[in-house]
Chains A and B, each alone.
Chain A
Amino acid sequence: MIKERCQTAARSKWFFPLFCLGLGVVVLLASWLGGQLGAGVYGLVVMAVFGLVVLLLAGRSETIRGLTIGRDERFAQIDLRATAVAGLAVILAVIVAFLVAIAHGQNGSPYTWLGAIAGLAYLAAVGYFRWRG
């Protein structure tokens, strides 16, 4: 019972490798539709190898195991912070790209839309989490 309370999420060890493989297949299909089958196969191989490496290392590394299989409350907090940092990095990149685009006389698209999506998603998330308490 204690374990259920403190362990925020637990997945099969196959979840992450299969997710990588699935993403690789999607990349392959998208590349095939775009007439770039070679790039798609390369993407599938890269994703499959990455998933396999994670699967093999999960047995040896507590960090990888925590981030892929069993996520306790500390790893959940680390994951949340890391996601926030990654999101911030993307938003900063979008802002810089937008400024560079308008400085070159372009209209800033698609960075305007990406920035708007990020801003609206943030406001919606703040509203939702405030409402949820």
Chain B
Amino acid sequence: MKNRVRELRAGQGLAQGQLAEAMGVSRQTINSIENDRYTPSLPLALALARYFGVTVEEMFDDQGALPDGRAL
């Protein structure tokens, strides 16, 4: 899923490891999210959005698709 995690993290001058520490996950998990290889759980998505002071919709873009791939 496309997201703005890298952009928001870089905007605050944070390293992946620092964000990972703040979220309680591994640096690899943050890296996977930023590279669209891993979609975080709802609690982690909410925590990331709250951390950067944005909404989940502003951070993650599901491109208007349903979970099964159909357009909404």
B41 neighbours in A (Cβ, 8 Å): 6, 73
**Closest Cβ of chain A: how far from B57's Cβ, in Å?**
20
- A 72-96 to B, binary, CB cutoff 8 A, 1 in contact else 0: 1111000000000000000000000
Give Cα A4 to B28, complex, Å: 18
Chain A residue at minimal CB-CB distance from B46: A5
User: Contact check: which of B26, B28, B32, B43 meets A5 at CB < 8 Å?
Assistant: B43
Give Cα A17 to B44, complex, Å: 30
Q: Is the CB of A74 within 8 A of B25?
A: yes
Chain B residue at minimal CB-CB distance from A76: B41
Q: Is the CB of B26 within 8 A of A72?
A: yes
- Most chain A Cβ neighbours within 10 Å, of B25, B44, B51: B25
A interface SS class: helix
Give Cα A65 to B20, complex, Å: 14
B43 neighbours in A (Cβ, 8 Å): 5-6
Q: Is the CB of B24 within 8 A of A74?
A: no
**A66 interface hit (Cβ, 8 Å):** yes
Give Cα A66 to B25, complex, Å: 9
B40 neighbours in A (Cβ, 8 Å): 73
- Most chain A Cβ neighbours within 10 Å, of B22, B26, B29, B43: B26
Q: What are the nearest 3 A-B pairs in CB distance?
A: A3-B24, A72-B25, A7-B24
